Amino acid sequence: MEPELSRHRPLTRDELAALIQAGEIDTVILAFPDMQGRLVGKRMTGWFFLQDAADHGTENCNYLIATDMDDNALDGFRFASYEQGYGDMIAMPDWNTIRLMAWQTKTAIVLADLHDPRTQLPVAVSPRQMLRDQVAVAHAAGYNAMIGSEIEFYLFHESYREAYDKGYRELDPHSPWMQDYQIVQTTFDEYVIGDIRRNLEACGIAVECSKGEAGRGQHEVNLRYTDALEMADRNLLYKSAAKEIAASHGRSVSFMAKWNFAETGSSCHIHSSLWNISSGAAAFAGEPMPIVFQQYMAGLLATARDFSLLWAPTVNSYRRFQPGSWAPTAVAWGSDNRTLGLRVVGHADAQRVESRIPGSDANSYIAFAGTIAGGMYGIRHQLSLEAPFVGNGYEAKSLARIPSTLIEAIQCWENSAIARECFGDDVHDHILSMAKAEWSAFNQHVTDWELNRYFERS
């Protein structure tokens, strides 16, 4: 595994304290991801953080990881409810996550792990802990899970308030043209995209590149691969930074999986591999395909449908899975075949599997947890790998399909013994409750399509 440049390391606790005492940092954000993959937490003055929160953490209502997108408290959760009083969780700083938020004034951020104040145990259903637990499964088997991901988004001329005032209709993508790999066309967007790259680098996050994508105004910014938890932390900050930096320029970006049905969907391609802890060697390197890689791939295939909620968590997620759309519909694997859900890419130590199933709206912690859990399930049960598929996966009639709707995905997860084995009953129930609440909320609304189709003619 390649070491990263020293400028990409997080700050130490002592370095943060020195910056606060010197007046160079006056605000510290202590935050954690919610179920939707958003930063939630508190902004504190620097002196208060050092005096009170650094050693004791902060109290946060436990409903924060049991709400919908609108922060509505939801029924049906074992973890938190009105009946249980909606108590607190303690957010304790993870001192490996200190970074300067270069795009905000004199501000640093520290990510937190959540603990039960009565038992002091980690909150198992918090997204960061879900991923920690799956990383621990890999570690127990002798492996370190390394992940890189490619998250796409759309850039719009409208500010967020302007987009809201327009009801998110007739929005103006920043480019009138598809700009996949185009340099001149994406130069027109550089005042925003370049600002995102530079600020992430200044934040200590290693950025490899950015590129235009296959939609009008669509981009991706690729971060350097690293271990799974660190990669999820970077994605959390990347998505927040992209929105905040775009807003500072009077623009908006969207990580919706499918903001417009006529446009290419936005993905979160996940590249994963295992590395031997004892030797530091890449476990997936070599020809023919190593047995451990075969079993890992077989596990991803075996869990692809059952775990789809982890990669496609919303109603909108399933709009993306369309034939010929660059988003996969087939549960199959192949060598460098973009029509399939899984493809083998790279060579030598860089050989890995790319899952093309997750959308850009996925919570990275939960999506990475599902990837590792699926792969480790295959290794644990020594699953045999089917032959690679050759050809157009969109047109193949014999292949299993990724669920096409949220309700189908809910049914796959709810009835999955594999999901319960890999995640336990509490996490299984928590994910299921979130998904059912999303489906219920959607079904309480009449869409524009229904009005246009049925108002006069039904």
Over the chain, what HEC string results?
Answer: CCCCCHHHCCECHHHHHHHHHCCCCCEEEEEEECCCCCEEEEEEEHHHHHHHHHHHCEEEEHHHHCECCCCCECCCCCCCCCCCCCCEEEEEECCCCEEECCCCCCEEEEEEEEECCCCCCECCCCHHHHHHHHHHHHHHCCEEEEEEEEEEEEEECCCHHHHHHCCCCCCCECCCCECCCCHHHHHCCHHHHHHHHHHHHHCCCCEEEEEECCCECEEEEEECCEEHHHHHHHHHHHHHHHHHHHHHCCCEEECCCCCCCCCCCCEEEEEEEEEECCCCCECCCCCCCCHHHHHHHHHHHHHCCCCHHHHCCCCHHHHCCCCCCCCCCEEEEEECCCCEEEEEECCHHHCEEEECCCECCCCHHHHHHHHHHHHHHHHHCCCCCCCCCCCCCCCCCCCEECCCCHHHHHHHHHCCHHHHHHHHHHHHHHHHHHHHHHHHHHCCCCCHHHHHHHCCCC
Q: Are residues 30 and 179 in the same domain?
A: no
- 93, 119, 145 — which closes off a domain? 119
| Residue 229 confidence class, pLDDT cut points 50, 70, 90 | very high
Say yes or no: 20 and 150 in one domain.
no
Within-domain flag for 124: no
My answer on whether 208 and 72 are in the same domain is no
State how many domains the chain has.
2
Q: Which of 94, 119, 144 is the last residue of a domain?
A: 119
Is the domain of 65 the same as that of 172? no
Residue of higher predicted confidence among 85 and 369: 369
Q: What is the mean pLDDT of residues 70-83?
A: 88
Domain range holding 337? 134-446
pLDDT of res. 80: 85
Of the given ranges (12-26, 71-85, 223-237, 326-340), which has the lowest mean pLDDT?
A: 71-85
Residue 83 is predicted with a pLDDT of: 86
Whether residue 173 has pLDDT greater than 80: yes
Question: Span 268-288, mean pLDDT?
Answer: 97
- Split at pLDDT 50, 70, 90, the class of 81 is confident
pLDDT score of 4 more than 60: no
Query: Mean pLDDT for the chain?
Result: 96
> Is a pLDDT exceeding 60 seen at residue 440?
yes
Instruction: Answer yes or no: is pLDDT of 260 > 60.
Output: yes
At residue 7, the pLDDT reads 76
Question: Do 237 and 310 belong together in one domain?
Answer: yes
Q: How confident is the model at residue 82 (pLDDT cuts 50, 70, 90)?
A: confident
Decide which of 119, 143, 161 is a domain's last residue. Answer: 119
pLDDT number for residue 307: 98
- Per-residue model confidence (pLDDT) at position 413: 98
Mean of the pLDDT values across residues 393-411? Answer: 96
Residue 330 lies in a domain: yes
- pLDDT given for residue 8 in this prediction: 84
Same domain, 113 and 187: no
Residue 381 lies in a domain: yes
State the pLDDT at residue 48.
Answer: 98
Residue 64 lies in a domain: yes
Domain identity same for 163 and 308: yes
Q: Are residues 111 and 176 in the same domain?
A: no
In a domain, 295, yes or no: yes
Q: pLDDT band for position 5 (50/70/90)?
A: low
pLDDT at residue 6 greater than cutoff 70 = no
Stretch 127-140: mean pLDDT, rounded?
A: 98
Q: Is residue 452 part of a domain?
A: no
pLDDT above 80 for 447:
yes
Q: Are residues 369 and 249 in the same domain?
A: yes
Residue 127 belongs to a domain: no
CATH number for the domain that contains residue 342:
3.30.590.10
Same-domain status, 89 and 139: no
pLDDT at 336: 86
Where residue 3 falls among pLDDT bands split at 50, 70, 90? very low
Asked if residue 296 is part of any domain, the answer here is yes
| Residues 324 and 437 both lie in one domain | yes
**Residues 404, 278 share a domain:** yes
Q: Above pLDDT 70, what percent of the chain?
A: 99
The string of pLDDT tens digits covering residues 19-30 is: 999 999 999 999
The CATH number assigned to the domain holding 105 equals 3.10.20.70
| pLDDT recorded at residue 85 | 85
